[in-house]
Amino acid sequence: MADSFGKLFRVTLFGESHSAAIGVVLDGVPAGLELDLEEISREMRRRAPGQNSLSTPRKEADLPLIQSGFFEGKTTGTPLCALIQNTNTRSGDYEPDLLRPAHADFTGKIRYNGWNDYRGGGHFSGRLTAPLVFAGAVAKQFLKREGVTIAAHLASVGNVKDQRFDPCLVPCELAEQIAGRELPVLDESVIAAMKEEILAAKSAGDSVGGTVECAVLGAAAGLGSPFFESAESRLSAMLFSVPAVKGVEFGAGFAISEMRGTQANDSFYLDGARIRTRTNHNGGINGGITNGMPILFRVAIKPTPSIAALQDTVNIRTQAECQIRVRGRHDPCIAHRAVCVIEAAAAVVMADLVLEARTYGR
């Protein structure tokens, strides 16, 4: 009931998979920010489908058309609206009454009393992450000016694991390197195994999940607030907005629950005049506030719910049990495409935190 997020850097999403367009309104973007549109396009392409055999063959230009808030190459400070037209839709593929398991068909129908646009998942479609990536691309350009970089990688696909970031030292060039690879991983030697995992699922009419690890670099100490406005609260709220995310952990995350305090506590030392921690089990956040170390978190992405295999379900109109085979063009895995979405989600929140920090002198 409120597709808006943020206090000072606000994001409002709209659109359905098969509506005229999807889009986003960004409010509170600082005025005078020169936007590198080519860079934005690159970000959009990272998410775009139809790029190789690992993704859905549905091709969308996903060209964001800026409607407002942008003048002579710079943001105006007033709301920036970008539109992405839906051109390549096949509305015939969907049967609204057969509830696709693990999709929002059932909950969407209940939530909107049966009136939501069901075609292609409607407003619940992963396609809505395209305008979020646009928002993130704008946020990143603002953050870059503030010295903040965001890098994420595909930390695992099924059981195949990538390396993890060095929690205390993530080089800020990494983002670009990762983005240039066939799959966005740290250790290129795992790419083959990951592809195999994805294609194996695909050929079985199945899908597979994964995890994404993300680092926010260069963020000053002092961002965020205690309790309800903790950096973790804000980041997680945004991250759990991304469809298919089922878990979020900061720093050591769930593993910290098996540690002793002597191990988990990140002790302080001086790096010149700067206070740093020797380990980073807390993921760069203490008491809800950033401590100047890399902000680290991991996100669990579930297997694409759309699978070709036959599944049990219910026809909500006839109130009869039945079976469904989800047709259409689907990704056997979305975790790799989620990497840039997670970055975008983080960027949007960080932009908000950075702006808010100006009010108290950070």
Binding residues for a second copy restricted to 332-361, rule: CB under 8 A:
335, 355-356, 358-361
* Span of 56-64, 171-179, 182-190, 245-253 interacting with a second copy by CB under 8 A: 245-253
- Binding residues for a second copy, rule CB under 8 A, total 158
- Determine the interface stretch with a second copy among 38-46, 139-147, 188-196, 237-245 (rule: CB under 8 A): 237-245
3-state SS assignment for residue 310: strand
Distance CA 116, CA 247 (A): 27
- The order of strands in the sheet holding 4-5 is 4-5, 10-15, 21-27, 80-85, 65-66
Minimum distance from CB of 173 to a second copy (Å)? Answer: 27
DSSP 284-299: TEETTEE-SSPEEEEE
Cβ-based nearer residue to a second copy, 71 or 176: 71
Q: Which residue has the tokens 């970089």?
A: 149
Residue 176 CB, nearest distance to a second copy (Å)?
A: 25
Q: Which of 150, 353, 361 is nearest to 233 (CA)?
A: 353
By beta-carbon proximity to a second copy, the closer residue of 182 and 229 is 229
Residues 6+ apart with CB under 8 A from 203: none
Instruction: Calculate helix-pair angle for 37-47, 335-358, nearest 10 degrees.
Output: 140
227 binds a second copy (CB under 8 A): yes
Q: Binding string, 258-297, against a second copy, x = CB under 8 A?
A: xxxxxxxxxxxxx--x-x-xx--xxx-xxxxxxx------
Residue 126 contacts a second copy per CB under 8 A:
no
273: buried, middle or exposed (CB in 10 Å: 19+, 13-18, 0-12)?
exposed
Tell me which residues in 91-110 interact with a second copy (CB under 8 A): 99, 101-104, 106-108, 110
Q: Which of 155, 144, 171, 167 is CA-nearest to residue 294?
A: 167
3-state secondary structure of 330: coil
Footprint of a second copy on residues 4-33 (CB under 8 A)? 4-5, 7-8, 10-16, 19-23, 25, 27-28, 30-32
Closer residue to a second copy, CB minimum distance, 160 or 340: 160
> Closest distance between a second copy and the C-beta of residue 144, in Å?
18
- Stretch near a second copy under the rule CB under 8 A, chosen from 47-55, 164-172, 181-189, 253-261: 253-261
Phi then psi dihedrals of residue 188, to 5 deg = -60, -20
Six-digit token string for 206 = 């199945």
Q: Is the CB of 20 or the CB of 171 nearer to a second copy?
A: 20
**Taking CB under 8 A as the rule, which mask of x and - marks residues 207-226 in contact with a second copy?**
xxxxx---------xx-xxx
Contact between 168 and 177 (Cβ < 8 Å): no
Q: According to CB under 8 A, which one of 52, 53, 68, 87 is a site residue for a second copy?
A: 68
Return the residues of window 134-153 that contact a second copy according to CB under 8 A.
none
Task: Work out whether 249 is an interface residue with a second copy (CB under 8 A).
Answer: yes
